[in-house]
Structure 1
Amino acid sequence: MKQLLYISAAGILATASSQAATLTFASLSSSLASNTLAIGGYTIADTELSVTGAASGNDFVYTIVYTGSSYDGDATNDTLSFDVLVQGWAGSVTTNTMLGSETEVSKNGATATIGTTDTAVTVNANGWAVANGTMNAGQTLQFSILNEALTTSTGSYDVSLGNFFGSHATETGNSYGHVAVIGEGSGLYETRWNQTNYEITGFSEGDPLYITSAQITEASANPQRWVTREIDFTMEVTAVPEPSSTALLGLGGLALILRRRK
């Protein structure tokens, strides 16, 4: 007599997927004194979210700690922490398709080769810039996520960047015709604006995020007079199956059939 026994890991898969989470961190600001970072209804005015920062050579590093959620299903909130490294580069080369008649316009058609000259990041009440407090053409800000960690009571979890999806630009003086290129390579997101405060949205970038100041071929008045004030990004938290669960997942995925004969 032949018997068939099917081993399925569907229940384990459901459990693992239920412990995945996407966390949206909105408006990380350059200002430590009045940072506007928020997540899940919490701001840094609450005890569940904190931001500290310090210069590190030419760079600036922010450390973010969030204790507003539980990922392992117990009654105790877990501790998520990571760093945001801000670096500055000079000598970047860009092309863009913007026209002098276009303002508050975004497209996908720019190119960027990021410069290799490590340059000091300027951090002030207006925002981040490179070298002299404004974003001159060919200067790039780089944002990277480092040292991701999650402390829980039980289980193991991976923490990583989901994506960068927005930034906020601010003018530093009377000017117009600012151009920013997002990313590195070709077919890049580009935007041109004249507003004092401008939300740059509609892009999705992995790690790192590059924001480069560009310029159109037509004349503009002081297009460099702007800074990046805030950035928006998501973090992904995913449960790591235990070794025994991983083995069962493999068996379930192959739909292993055990056969016995009498």
Structure 2
Amino acid sequence: MAAINAMTLITDAQRYSGGVRWAEPWLLEMTSVAGALILVPAVAALERRVPLASGMTLRNGAVLIAASVPFSLAHVGIMVGLRTALIPSVTGKTYTFFVDPLTDLLYEYRKDLFLYAVLVGLLTLSRQIELGRQEAAAARAEARKSGRLTLKSQGHTIHLRARDFTWAQASGNYVDVMAAGKSYLPRTTLNDLEEQLHSASVDVVRVHRSRLVNREQITEVRPTRNGDVEIHLADGTTVKGSRRYRDRLSPPDTTPPR
């Protein structure tokens, strides 16, 4: 964004006033970037203390919005300080920012509010991704150790014996899991569920891009006219498989080498 803004300032100056020193637009934009980068650790520390993804989203959101004001003031202070120190030595001009302090600060605040929101949003997203990775790793470790699946559903944690897993189907941000004759709808991905099952040494096979089956529960596989398959399970369920995954249903070759 800073590079685009700097080149736009240069182009506009060439178009309307005949030219400008190339260093000045870059100094204006990069000092703003430097001010923002200096404040990133402070914003990260605040986001850790009052995360949006918590049980107090409304309160924490109000705190984060209120903090945008000191963020903007600090950003302007750092930016103006850098420009006052650098611009005269590079361009020979005196830098003046506060022509009309209230108007200038409101103008900067409008821009800083967007920047601040992007920073908080990125920090929140990275936190959620990292928490998801940690939870998935912990679930795999638990499955490996105890043979149990760990599933999150509507704020609750469900533990299932991995061997009871029958089949599952992806449903948006959730997965419909069938185990021991019961249905569960945890918020997870089919990939994460498959990794948990593999960690628990359950022989599962992907029969469709959105379906997963316990191989030990398969009693019969019937091809259909269009090349797909119907998979019959021990509990009487019939699961449709895709032709793209049909070869995965073949039993592994256990013939010893000659």
Question: Shorter-chain-normalised TM-score: which range?
Answer: under 0.3
TM-score (norm: length of structure 2): 0.23
Larger Rg: 2
Structure with the largest fraction of strand: 1
Structure with the largest fraction of helix: 2
Structure with greater contact order relative to length (CA < 8 Å, sep ≥ 6): 1
